[in-house]
């Protein structure tokens, strides 16, 4: 057995200081210690896929990261691990528990995943090793993991068995409930604007030093068509991961960070709004471009017609939320939101449809990631804890 503190000191020696994840009983000592250590940054996520995206944002902003989850949570994490970390070449140390380990009694829901945990990691091409159970094995294994991640730009997993970590008390500071946020209604009940016009308004108002993370699909494609800038991160795949990625950036840098989300993507990981509200990143501006459809796949309706994203954001702890329904209202709201302490949500209802001849970013995702990381690090402050 080893102490969680011993493991965390070893991970700090390879540069890791940012942790996120979803609890598992096998992980309790490690999460308790991580959440209690004021020198580390720990973000409790609403889902495992969200945690992977948060860590990706923190890595882009200059941190080395670890994601902790139960092996059953690998199902939630497969999408970002394969369609975010893989194409963008974003490494993270995965600490995955081995519930349902063959030969041990466990709950029936863990039986299948227990048998296939290592096979699943092999299928998604993530190298892995057993979590060490002796302190002397920590440094060699972690240095090997670090070297592998540096070489490949991809995650490395440690599979944690039950009883490896000694019990650890929890000394997590209590959550302080934020004050009720403010709703600003700028709806004119007039003709909606297009996404293209809305993006043009963003480009006209955004300062050069503000990073923009753009959700997958036609939003990123249209923004790239209008203007390609080093401050842009165009997501591909990993639907729903734009806002948690922006959270990782905003927490790490402390600077204004804009995320351009879609209604379908926001609904896919709606729990991210709760995580953002709990973390209270003052620089985060979360824009939801709501055309009511899945535009990239033929225009099938989303559920957003009956969803009030602004009210949800305020209920989750956002400090301010704007509602607008045309380009003029959006332009006013966006300029005001840029100078407002966040987290702020701006929900704008827009028309479906896009440019008739719409290309795709011609820069490879890993090149976009490296360019974006360099942009963030140029004016970086020391990492926040």
Does 241 share its domain with 352?
yes
Does 143 share its domain with 233?
no
Does 76 share its domain with 120?
yes
Does 199 share its domain with 145?
no
Q: Is 51 inside a domain boundary?
A: yes
CATH code of residue 147: 3.40.50.970
Does 87 share its domain with 142?
yes
Q: Which pLDDT does position 174 carry in this prediction?
A: 83
Name the DSSP class of 108: G
Report the distance separating Cα 56 and Cα 241, nearest Å: 10
Q: Is 166 inside a domain boundary?
A: no
Whether residue 19 has pLDDT greater than 80: yes
- Which of 160, 192, 218 is the C-terminal boundary of a domain? 160
Q: What does pTM read for this prediction?
A: 0.96
Does 83 share its domain with 218?
no
Q: Is 77 within 8 Å of 50 (Cβ atoms)?
A: no
Q: Which pLDDT does position 132 carry in this prediction?
A: 95
Q: What is the mean pLDDT of residues 194-211?
A: 96
Chain centroid offset of residue 21 CA:
11
How do strand 293-294 and strand 300-301 relate by DSSP bridges?
antiparallel
Q: Is 291 inside a domain boundary?
A: yes
Whether residue 384 has pLDDT greater than 60: no
- Which of 160, 194, 222 is the C-terminal boundary of a domain? 160
Q: Is 109 inside a domain boundary?
A: yes
Report the distance separating Cα 50 and Cα 283, nearest Å: 19
Does 196 share its domain with 296?
yes
Q: Which pLDDT does position 380 carry in this prediction?
A: 64
Per-residue pLDDT tens digits for 237-279: 999 999 999 999 999 999 999 999 999 999 999 999 999 999 9
Pull the structure tokens for residue 170. 């929890």
**256 vs 4, 15, 285, 340, CA distance in Å?**
34, 25, 7, 10
Q: Is 174 inside a domain boundary?
A: no
Q: What is the DSSP string of 77-101?
A: HHHHIIIIIHHHT---EEEEE-TT-
Q: Is 167 inside a domain boundary?
A: no
Per-residue pLDDT tens digits for 159-191: 999 999 999 999 888 888 888 899 999 998 889
Q: Is 213 within 8 Å of 233 (Cβ atoms)?
A: yes
Q: Is 385 inside a domain boundary?
A: no
pLDDT band at 383 (very low <50, low <70, confident <90, very high): very low
Whether residue 110 has pLDDT greater than 70: yes
Q: What's the length of the chain?
A: 385
The interaxial angle of helices 48-60 and 365-378, nearest 10 deg, is 60
Does 15 share its domain with 147?
yes
Report the distance separating Cα 75 and Cα 99, nearest Å: 14
Does 206 share its domain with 122?
no
Whether residue 124 has pLDDT greater than 70: yes
The mean pLDDT value of the chain amounts to 94
Does 111 share its domain with 70?
yes
Whether residue 339 has pLDDT greater than 80: yes
pLDDT band at 385 (very low <50, low <70, confident <90, very high): very low
Does 110 share its domain with 50?
yes
Q: Which pLDDT does position 381 carry in this prediction?
A: 54
Q: Is 177 inside a domain boundary?
A: no
The domain containing residue 124 runs over which residues? Answer: 4-160
How many domains are there within the chain? 2
Q: Is 348 within 8 Å of 337 (Cβ atoms)?
A: no
Does 58 share its domain with 147?
yes
Whether residue 65 has pLDDT greater than 90: yes
Per-residue pLDDT tens digits for 91-107: 999 999 999 999 999 99
Name the DSSP class of 72: G
Name the DSSP class of 270: T
């Amino acid at each position: 057995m080893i102490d969680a503190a011993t493991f965390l000191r070893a991970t700090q020696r390879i540069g890791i200081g940012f942790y996120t994840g979803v609890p598992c009983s096998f992980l309790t000592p490690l999460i308790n210690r991580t959440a209690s250590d004021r020198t580390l940054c720990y973000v409790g996520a609403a889902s495992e896929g969200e945690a992977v995206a948060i860590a990706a944002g923190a890595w882009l902003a200059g941190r080395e990261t670890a994601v902790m989850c139960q092996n059953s949570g690998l199902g939630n994490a497969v999408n970002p691990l394969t369609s975010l970390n893989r194409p963008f070449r974003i490494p993270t140390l995965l600490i995955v528990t081995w519930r349902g380990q063959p030969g041990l009694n466990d709950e029936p829901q863990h039986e299948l995943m227990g048998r296939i945990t290592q096979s699943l990691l092999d299928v998604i091409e993530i190298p892995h090793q057993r979590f060490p159970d002796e302190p002397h094995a920590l440094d060699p294994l972690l240095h090997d993991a670090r070297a592998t991640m540096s070489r490949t730009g991809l995650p490395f997993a440690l599979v944690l068995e039950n009883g490896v970590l000694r019990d650890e008390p929890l000394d997590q500071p209590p959550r302080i409930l934020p004050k009720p946020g403010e709703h600003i209604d700028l709806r004119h009940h007039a003709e909606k604007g297009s996404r293209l016009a809305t993006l043009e308004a963003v480009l006209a108002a955004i300062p050069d030093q503000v990073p923009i993370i753009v959700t997958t699909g036609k939003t990123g494609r249209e923004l790239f068509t209008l203007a390609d800038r080093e401050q842009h991160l165009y997501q591909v795949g990993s639907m729903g991961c734009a806002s948690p990625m922006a959270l990782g950036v905003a927490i790490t840098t402390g600077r204004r960070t804009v995320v351009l989300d879609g209604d379908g993507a926001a609904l896919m990981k709606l729990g991210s709004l709760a995580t953002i509200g709990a973390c209270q990143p003052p620089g985060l501006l979360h824009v939801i471009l709501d055309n009511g459809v899945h535009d990239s796949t033929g225009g099938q309706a989303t559920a957003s017609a009956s969803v009030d994203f602004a009210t949800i954001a305020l209920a989750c702890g956002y400090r301010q939320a704007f509602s607008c329904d045309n380009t003029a209202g959006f332009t006013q709201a966006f300029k005001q939101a840029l100078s407002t302490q966040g987290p702020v949500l701006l929900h704008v209802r827009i028309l479906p449809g896009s440019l008739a001849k719409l290309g795709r970013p011609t820069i490879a995702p890993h090149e976009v990631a490296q360019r974006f990381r360099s942009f963030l690090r140029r004016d970086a402050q020391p990492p926040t804890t």
